[in-house]
């Protein structure tokens, strides 16, 4: 027996090498390698090539020749150590099964399912007489197996057959590596082509004026994952998600975005997170630059994204950034024009130029108008004030809510406040419109406070005015409401000028004069209450609230009418007043009413030495 390859076998090996170098189609290479191995090995009556699939953790038959039914045989999937092929894969060396006994012992390791497939893939009159299997090794790792089968008892595998099969397996390993590299390069080229195509399609969307949401939908269709767009302070601008993404997950993710955006140090970050019990890869891509951030594009993926996929999305970020800059420029121009219009309008200087601007902004000079103002303050325990980005989002939110309610009007920035100018048909009832605007104000307040819990809001609503000529009066009334809410105690943070009664008297006088009036009328009673901590003053307030009705006042205070009469008599003595005198009673009523709204009530107790 020779230990070297025969001349014919060397020629076959050269032929195998030529086949490998002449084709990159892996299936063609497999068929050629197996066909050449069977033809040059005298005992070889058939054979198969198996490749290990890491995802399935099984050896998969890529080609089979000889006395097999290939369509059945290729359904077999072998575990490591299963049958002759699996044993060769496990041991990473060439194995020879020389007789029926060794073959039967090896076949006994097959699972019942695989054994049934093998039996059905081989004719009944065919039996294995010997088998040779050699591993395909690449850099020390077994990536597959070539198995040759003998069916004639008179033919046996020789030592040179083992050498030849090992050499062919080495060539097969080279072929697989070469084909894998080619597929990777082909994949890279395809990805780059897709990236260029994506970039081109996105550019076309922008040119055609489709807008940000269309861009998001396009990217979502391309990558098939959850995708979000946030501005520089973490407010969601747009999103495109799979149906499995719930509102609760969206809320959680939005809060997560607000936390991570301020701490970004690089143009991209890739991390793993768990959301609703599911594991995701989170890719965060910066929009704009570190010096002037426009926000971030976030992708939440169930699968790990390749470097090429992320690079393609970074190209998309350039298009998105340009679109955001364009939209922001348009919005800023609109706001500037509207702001100039509103500033002049609220000054009361109506002229032909202003009327022309009003018509360009779709405001009919002859309709009825009403104004409301939203004033923002951060709570005393929050040091940071309302920044420009937050104001921009608040303004955008207010305008969006106006459109949502189909209200004809607009909201603009005016001296760190948001001013809304709303338009209505003259025939509509003023009272019903005011009630509608109050509900609108409540909705805006609630929506804002959900997102900005650290804020305090005051909303003042002016009265309805006929035509643009008098709308500045509604603006001034809204300002008075804001002033009242900020300077005086009031139960609610939304105030309409029509709801003010005696409070209008408060608004028209400085607090010092109001305090003087209260001290002149109620001073002795306030001083008496502060020294004794009694309940006469609160009784007086309820007495006026109940229209001086003894029975209702007593019931409201849960006291006996005689007790109430005693308290009223005591108040008359302290105030040196006669409650039956309508003029004196009016002054006392007015003073007690104003007293309820004075925030700094301690001031009234600092001047006890004052003569009344």
Of 451-455, 543-547, 583-587, the poorest mean pLDDT is in 451-455
Can you give the C-alpha Rg of the chain in angstroms?
Answer: 43
**Confidence tier at 163 by pLDDT (50, 70, 90):** confident
Per residue in 190-233, pLDDT tens?
555 555 566 677 767 666 767 788 888 888 888 888 999 988 77
Residues 514 and 383 in one domain: no
Distance CA 484, CA 504 (A): 9
pLDDT number for residue 135: 94
Of 154-158, 163-167, 546-550, highest mean pLDDT: 546-550
Tell me, yes or no, whether 37 lies in a domain: yes
335 domain residue, yes or no: no
Instruction: Give the pLDDT band (50/70/90) at residue 406.
Output: low
Banded pLDDT at 394 (limits 50, 70, 90): confident
Of 74-88, 337-351, 481-495, give the lowest mean pLDDT range: 481-495
Is 473 a residue whose pLDDT tops 60? yes
Mean pLDDT of 369-393: 73
- Order of strands across the sheet with 268-275? 236-240, 226-230, 293-301, 278-288, 268-275
**Which three-class secondary structure state does DSSP give residue 86?**
helix
Distance, CA of 116 to CA of 337 (rounded, Å): 81
Q: Are residues 130 and 22 part of one domain?
A: yes
Question: Model confidence at 181, in pLDDT bands (50, 70, 90)?
Answer: low
Looking at the fold, whether 238 and 371 belong to one and the same domain comes out as no
Name 272's bridge partners: 281
> For residue 203, is it within any domain?
no
Q: Tell me, yes or no, whether 2 lies in a domain.
A: no
User: 296 and 254: one domain?
Assistant: yes
Shared domain for 161 and 226, answered yes or no, is no
User: For residue 318, what are the domain limits?
Assistant: 209-328
pLDDT bracket for residue 609 (50, 70, 90):
very low
The domain spanning residue 282 has which CATH number? 3.30.450.40
Confidence of residue 49 (pLDDT cuts 50, 70, 90): very high
CATH code of residue 565: 1.10.10.2840
Domain for residue 337, yes or no? no
The answer to whether residue 204 is domain-embedded is no
Closest CA to 237 of 454, 397, 410: 397
Per residue in 64-114, pLDDT (tens digit) is 988 678 888 889 999 999 999 999 999 999 999 999 899 999 999 999 999
Six-digit token string for 581: 């005198």
As a whole number, mean pLDDT of residues 398-404 equals: 78
Predicted confidence at residue 501, as pLDDT, reads 72
CA 309 to chain centre: 20
For residue 341, tell me if it sits in a domain. Answer: no
190 belongs to a structural domain: no
C-alpha closest to that of 556 among 568, 567, 545: 545
Total of domains in the chain: 4
Q: What is the pLDDT of residue 116?
A: 92
Do residues 73 and 216 share a domain? no
Question: Of 271, 296, 328, at which residue does a domain stop?
Answer: 328
Q: Which residues contact 436 (CB under 8 A, 6 or more apart)?
A: none
pLDDT(142) > 90 = yes
Judgement on whether residues 453 and 318 belong to the same structural domain of the protein? no
104: Cβ–Cβ under 8 A, 6 or more apart, which residues? Answer: none
Confidence bin at 413 (pLDDT 50/70/90)? confident
What backbone torsions phi and psi does residue 230 show, to the nearest 5 degrees? -120, 150
Final residue before a domain boundary, out of 300, 328, 356: 328
pLDDT of residue 290: 67
Confidence band of 606 (pLDDT split at 50, 70, 90): very low
The reply to whether 404 and 450 lie within a common domain is yes
Is 50 exceeded by the pLDDT of residue 381? no
What pLDDT is attached to residue 106? 94
Q: What is the pLDDT of residues 33-43, one digit of tens each?
A: 888 888 888 88
Q: What is the C-alpha to C-alpha distance for residues 599 and 604, in angstroms, rounded to an integer? A: 11
Please indicate, yes or no, whether residues 416 and 516 belong to a single structural domain of this protein: no
Give the pLDDT of residue 342.
85
> To which H or E segment does residue 52 belong?
strand 46-53
Contacts with 264 (C-beta within 8 Å, 6 or more apart), sequence order:
284, 286, 293, 296
**In this structure, are 532 and 596 located in the same domain?**
yes
> Are 156 and 138 in the same domain?
yes
Average pLDDT over the chain reads 82
For the domain that residue 381 is a member of, what is the CATH number? Answer: 3.30.70.270
Tens digit of each residue's pLDDT (9 = 90 or more) over 250-285:
888 888 887 877 777 778 888 888 887 888 899 999
Cβ-based neighbours of 554, under 8 Å, separated by 6 or more? 560, 561, 563, 564
495 and 515 both lie in a single domain: no
Which tops the pLDDT comparison, 189 or 487? 487
Question: pTM (2 decimals)?
Answer: 0.49
């Amino acid at each position: 027996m020779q230990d070297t390859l025969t001349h014919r076998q060397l020629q076959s090996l050269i032929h195998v090498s030529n086949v490998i170098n002449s084709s990159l189609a892996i299936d063609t290479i497999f068929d050629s390698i197996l066909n050449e191995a069977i033809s040059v090995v005298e005992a070889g009556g058939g054979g198969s090539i198996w490749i290990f699939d890491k995802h399935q953790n099984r050896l998969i038959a890529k080609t089979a020749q000889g006395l097999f039914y290939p369509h059945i045989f290729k359904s077999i999937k072998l575990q490591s150590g299963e049958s002759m092929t699996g044993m060769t894969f496990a041991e990473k060396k060439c194995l020879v099964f020389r007789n029926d006994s060794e073959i039967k012992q090896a076949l006994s390791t097959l699972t019942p399912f695989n054994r049934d497939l093998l039996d059905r893939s081989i004719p009944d009159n065919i039996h294995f007489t010997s088998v040779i299997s050699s591993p395909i090794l690449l850099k020390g790792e077994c990536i597959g197996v070539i198995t040759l089968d003998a069916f004639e008892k008179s033919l046996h595998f020789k030592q040179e057959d083992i050498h030849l099969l090992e050499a062919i397996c080495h060539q097969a390993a080279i072929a697989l590596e070469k084909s894998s590299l080619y597929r990777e390069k082909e994949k890279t080229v395809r990805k780059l082509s897709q990236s260029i195509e994506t970039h081109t399609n996105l550019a076309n969307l922008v040119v055609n004026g489709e807008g940000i949401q269309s861009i998001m939908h396009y990217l979502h269709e391309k990558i098939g994952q959850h995708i979000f767009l946030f501005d520089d302070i973490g407010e969601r601008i747009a999103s495109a998600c799979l149906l499995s993404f719930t509102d609760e997950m969206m809320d959680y993710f939005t809060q997560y975005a607000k936390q991570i955006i301020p701490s970004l140090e690089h143009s991209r970050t890739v991390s793993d997170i768990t959301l609703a019990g599911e594991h995701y890869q989170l890719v965060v891509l910066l929009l704009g630059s570190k010096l002037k951030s426009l926000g971030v594009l976030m992708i939440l993926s169930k699968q790990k994204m390749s470097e090429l996929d992320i690079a393609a999305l970074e190209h998309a970020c350039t298009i998105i950034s340009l679109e955001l800059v364009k939209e922001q420029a348009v919005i800023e121009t609109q706001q500037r024009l509207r702001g100039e219009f509103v500033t002049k309008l609220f000054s009361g200087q109506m002229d032909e130029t202003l009327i022309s601007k009003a018509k360009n902004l779709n405001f009919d000079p002859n309709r009825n108008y009403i104004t409301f103002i939203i004033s923002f303050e951060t709570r005393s325990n929050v040091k940071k004030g309302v920044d420009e980005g937050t104001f921009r989002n608040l303004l955008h939110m207010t305008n969006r809510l106006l459109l949502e309610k189909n209200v004809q009007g607009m909201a603009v920035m005016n001296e760190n406040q948001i001013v809304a100018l709303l338009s209505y048909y003259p025939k509509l009832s003023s009272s019903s419109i005011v009630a509608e605007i109050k509900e609108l104000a409540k909705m805006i307040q609630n929506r804002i406070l959900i997102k900005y819990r650290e804020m305090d809001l005051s909303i003042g609503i002016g009265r309805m005015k006929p035509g643009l000529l008098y709308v500045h009066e509604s603006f001034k009334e809204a300002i008075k409401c804001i002033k009242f809410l900020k300077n005086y105690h009031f139960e609610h943070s939304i105030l309409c000028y029509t709801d003010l009664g005696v409070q209008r008297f408060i608004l028209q006088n400085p607090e010092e004069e109001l305090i003087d009036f209260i001290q002149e009328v109620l001073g002795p009673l306030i001083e008496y209450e502060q020294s004794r901590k009694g309940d006469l003053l609160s009784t007086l307030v309820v007495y006026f609230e109940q229209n001086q009705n003894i029975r209702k006042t007593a019931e409201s205070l849960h006291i006996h009418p005689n007790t109430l009469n005693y308290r009223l008599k005591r108040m008359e003595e302290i105030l040196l007043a006669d409650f039956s005198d309508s003029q004196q009673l009016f002054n006392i009523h007015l003073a007690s009413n104003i007293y309820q709204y004075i925030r700094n009530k301690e001031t009234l107790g600092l001047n006890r030495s004052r003569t009344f």
